[in-house]
Chain A
Amino acid sequence: DAKTTQPNSMESNEEEPVHLPCNHSTISGTDYIHWYRQLPSQGPEYVIHGLTSNVNNRMASLAIAEDRKSSTLILHRATLRDAAVYYCILSALNAGGTSYGKLTFGQGTILTVHP
């Protein structure tokens, strides 16, 4: 699986939008972009995923660059509960392939939210 690059840490204020960047310059055409987050002392939690088009769900939005070499996770109004480590992960999904959606976690971005 191709690798991703994320900033080690970011800070935000409560109720402000947060844009978490991720670079994945070696992404292949079959790679999905996944975002997970891990709150302190908990297991990772699915946030969002996408392939080519921007995606929205109740938790966040995912903006994918036209060349797919980067993406941005957008939290529209940060809350204290959003303080977590955010992981950007690529995974190829091929029904006949071998990745089976295996996720390779990097170090992620530690998001601190200030009251």
Chain B
Amino acid sequence: NAGVTQTPKFRILKIGQSMTLQCTQDMNHNYMYWYRQDPGMGLKLIYYSVGAGITDKGEVPNGYNVSRSTTEDFPLRLELAAPSQTSVYFCASSSGGLGYTFGSGTRLTVV
């Protein structure tokens, strides 16, 4: 039982580059989320999805885009990387908003 799988685990980007953070879950959860966590801080919600084809902004969506074409996958896209996007990114899923399962995170550095 894999749960929530995030790739890559680490990435260094140059300013202005783009990348996609991948997230896949195998629990058939309808709800999926992307959070970022800056050093010493709590997690902040970037985007969330309540089902395939449905996404909405969270607290800090600027500079990011998402899509949800299947129940299993919820990729996060960074179009023009900026140093302020240096953070650890966590993907999560839940059934009805209870008992989230989080991935192990992607540590992103923008230089």
Contact = CB atoms under 8 A, between A and B. Distances in A.
Interface of A: 32, 34, 36, 42-46, 49, 87, 91, 93, 99-108
B45 interface: yes
Contacts of B102: 43-45
A32 B58 contact: no
Interface of B: 31, 33, 35, 41-45, 48, 50, 58-59, 90, 92, 94, 96-105
Contacts of B45: 102-104
Interface on chain A toward B: helix, strand, loop, or mixed SS? Answer: loop
Given A100-B50, A102-B48, A32 B98 contact: yes
Interface on chain B toward A: helix, strand, loop, or mixed SS? Answer: strand
Contacts of B31: 100-101
A87 B7 CA distance: 25
A46 B100 contact: yes
Contacts of B105: 42-43
A107 B41 contact: yes
Contacts of B59: 104
Given A102-B33, A105-B43, A106-B42, 13 more contacts: A42-B105, A43-B105, A44-B43, A44-B90, A44-B102, A49-B99, A87-B42, A93-B97, A99-B97, A102-B45, A103-B45, A103-B100, A105-B42
B9 to A, nearest CB: 11
A106 B40 CA distance: 11
Contacts of A87: 42
B104 A101 contact: no
A87 B35 CA distance: 15
Contacts of A107: 41-42
Contact of B96 (A46, A101, A103): A101
18 contacts: A32-B98, A42-B105, A43-B90, A43-B92, A43-B102, A44-B100, A93-B97, A93-B98, A100-B48, A100-B50, A101-B94, A101-B96, A102-B33, A102-B45, A103-B33, A103-B45, A105-B43, A108-B42
